[in-house]
Homo-oligomer: A and B are copies of this chain.
């Protein structure tokens, strides 16, 4: 009679995959596990996404949008001075990565080829960083400043969440040191 009513949604599938990713890493995100979690059979997933790469791409796109929102809201909650905004941004980024380490790891280091956020999602995550960098370093040096800041924050947090800091010491203080140094160096005129 009537065509089979949809038993799930793209959003539900993405949420299931994202949950599996955070709980068990990328290898736990199998089509079978996703299907079971949303209550359908694995072949049905292909009516929603072209293949596993496309599905993971949708996951990482959602993650990028979430990150963008978290960064914007952190900047809004902070004051209006450049350094304070940058610190809020850096702290919010680190908090996001430590809260969702495996999703964050997929953002910049594509473990699976072809798994990328959409350009829109990428732009949404990059925009607050570029704005704060522009306010801090001036518009013509904003891009380089944003890259330096993002590289440090991404590098530090990815190493931290991968357990690479094994020699003791105060990891939190090292992050703040890096932000302080970059802040001082990147402020308008400082690196000329």
Query: Which residues of A are at the interface with B, using a C-beta cutoff of 8 A?
Result: 25-27, 105, 108-113, 122, 126, 143-145, 147-148, 150-156, 158-159, 162, 164-171, 173-174, 177-178, 180-182, 184-186, 190-191
B109→A148 contact, CB < 8 A:
no
Chain B residue numbers with a CB within 8 Å of A26 are 111
- Give A88 to B46 CA distance when docked, in angstroms: 50
A150→B143 contact, CB < 8 A:
no
The answer to whether residues A144 and B177 also contact, given A155-B154, A159-B150 and a CB cut-off of 8 A, is yes
SS of A interface (majority): helix
Chain B residue numbers with a CB within 8 Å of A144 are 169-170, 173-174, 177
What is the minimal beta-carbon distance from A173 to any residue of chain B, in angstroms? 6
Q: Which residue of B lies closest to A119 (CB)?
A: B166
Among A26, A143, A166, A168, the most chain B Cβ lie within 10 Å of the Cβ of: A143
A151→B159 contact, CB < 8 A:
yes
- Give A113 to B159 CA distance when docked, in angstroms: 14
- Give A177 to B192 CA distance when docked, in angstroms: 10
Q: List 28 A-B contacts (CB under 8 A).
A: A26-B111, A109-B158, A143-B167, A143-B168, A144-B169, A144-B173, A144-B174, A147-B165, A147-B169, A148-B152, A148-B156, A148-B177, A148-B181, A150-B159, A151-B152, A151-B155, A151-B178, A153-B155, A154-B158, A154-B159, A155-B158, A178-B182, A180-B185, A180-B191, A181-B181, A181-B184, A181-B190, A185-B185
B185→A108 contact, CB < 8 A:
no
Chain B residue numbers with a CB within 8 Å of A108 are 158-159, 162, 164
